[in-house]
Every structure is written in C-alpha cells, then in structure tokens.
Amino acid sequence: MSVQSPPAPSLQPRDCPCGSGQTYAACCGRWYGGPAHLGAPDALTLMRSRYTAYVLGLHDYLLATWHPSTRPAALDPDPPGLRWLGLEVKRHWRDDDTHARVEFVARCKRGGRAQRLHEISRFVYEQGRWYYVDGDMV
C-alpha cells in the first residue's frame, strides 16, 4: 500500500492541524513521507498524525496506519463542506509495552452544524510500528 504524498508545499499549513503548537513540518508532516514515514514513535504521535491526515485528506496514510484486523478496504470520500476545527487530547496511557490508548475530542463542522467526536482509541505496537485498532465513542 503506497502512502499519499503530503499536499504540495504551497498548500501545507504552517501550524500543525493537530494543535501541538509546532509547525506542520516539524510535527505531523514528517510522518507522511521520507525515511521516517509510518514510523510514529508512540500511540499519541500516531493519533495526532492520523487526525492531521483526516484534515488533509490523506486517506492512504490512514489506511496504512490502521491495523489489518480492523482496517476497512477503503475510506469514503469526505462529505462536501466538512471542515475539521480542532483536536483536544484528553489523556493517553500505555496499558503495556505493546498496547496504548488515547482519549481525544475532535471538532468539525459539517453542513453548517458543529459536531464533536469524543473517542478512546486503542493502539497496538507490532513489527516495529504503532497501529490504530479501534475506538469507543464516549
């Protein structure tokens, strides 16, 4: 599975959409290409990079970082007018060396209506990489 290239430089945001306070290039942008791609060092970094991938429409990256046991065959295109507004990480913890969870709230606007996605996501570390497994809505 190939990973989509990041948006063209003129389209890249200056500040990272994940809300880390870092530049896009220093934060999530580094995980979408080059030698470090797909190598987020922990579940929290992977979750932030996946949020940013949703913002930027990088569906190949989302699928590549989704655990094969729960990964869908494809992702539907974003609905027209969907706009991601922000990410708030509530907490994150490791259950053991290969399992971690991240609780977050992602806000978006769709069809003029604000929405919140509050989830506790599960991640697993296998073969030297972290993967998103699934999550429970809060």
pLDDT digits (tens, 9 = 90+) for 8-38: 444 567 899 999 999 998 999 988 875 556 6
Give tens-digit pLDDT for 78-89: 888 899 999 999
Residue 43 CA to residue 131 CA, distance in Å, equals 8
pLDDT at residue number 39:
82
Q: Where are the domains of the chain?
A: 9-137
Average pLDDT for residues 122-126, to the nearest whole number?
97
This model's pTM is above 0.75? yes
Neighbours of 133 (CB within 10 A): 18
CATH number of 9-137: 3.10.450.50
Distances (CA, A) of 99 to 26, 90, 92, 114, 117: 26, 18, 11, 32, 22
Q: For residue range 47-84, what is the model confidence (pLDDT) as tens digits?
A: 999 999 999 999 999 999 999 999 999 999 988 889 99
In angstroms, rounded to a whole number, what is the distance separating the alpha carbons of residues 102 and 24? Answer: 21
- Whether the per-residue pLDDT at 2 is higher than 50: the answer is no
Average pLDDT value for residue range 38-51:
93
